[in-house]
Amino acid sequence: GENVEQHPSTLSVQEGDSAVIKCTYSDSASNYFPWYKQELGKGPQLIIDIRSNVGEKKDQRIAVTLNKTAKHFSLHITETQPEDSAVYFCAASRGFGNEKLTFGTGTRLTIIP
């Protein structure tokens, strides 16, 4: 089955700086790569996703890049703010959607004021 590795497990950045979280996946047939943000005591929330026919996608301060050849994808957050502090999960699935999503182990991002 699919295996998704996520790094780093913890990340601290100064407010205003950029943060990058990286994931690798094992199944070359995977086509859908979402990112979820989980705040303390809440369920994960989808923040951005990308499909294999696209190399990069941006939404305001958040961007995701995908390298299918190398089987890795990354989340980039620019101009970080205190409300960006949370745990971030990457995920992958063979279909083009949610069916049997495999999640990474999470990155705890802390923004230092």
Partner 1 sequence: NAGVTQTPKFQVLKTGQSMTLQCAQDMNHEYMSWYRQDPGMGLRLIHYSVGAGITDQGEVPNGYNVSRSTTEDFPLRLLSAAPSQTSVYFCASSRDRVNYGYTFGSGTRLTVV
Which residues lie near partner 1 (CB under 8 A)? 1, 4, 6, 34, 36, 41-46, 49, 89, 95-106
Nearest distance in Å: CB 61, partner 1: 18
DSSP notation for 28-89: TT--EEEEEEE-TTS--EEEEEEETT-SEEEETTEEEEEETTTTEEEEEE-S--GGG-EEEE
Residue pair 18/78 in contact (Cβ under 8 Å)? The answer is yes
Burial of residue 20, with CB atoms counted within 10 A of its CB: 0-12 exposed, 13-18 middle, 19 or more buried: middle
- 68 residue type, one letter: K
Among residues 15 and 64, whose Cβ is nearest to partner 1? Answer: 64
Nearest distance in Å: CB 73, partner 1: 15
Nearest distance in Å: CB 106, partner 1: 6
Among residues 44 and 109, whose Cβ is nearest to partner 1? Answer: 44
Among residues 106 and 111, whose Cβ is nearest to partner 1? Answer: 106
Among residues 24 and 104, whose Cβ is nearest to partner 1? Answer: 104
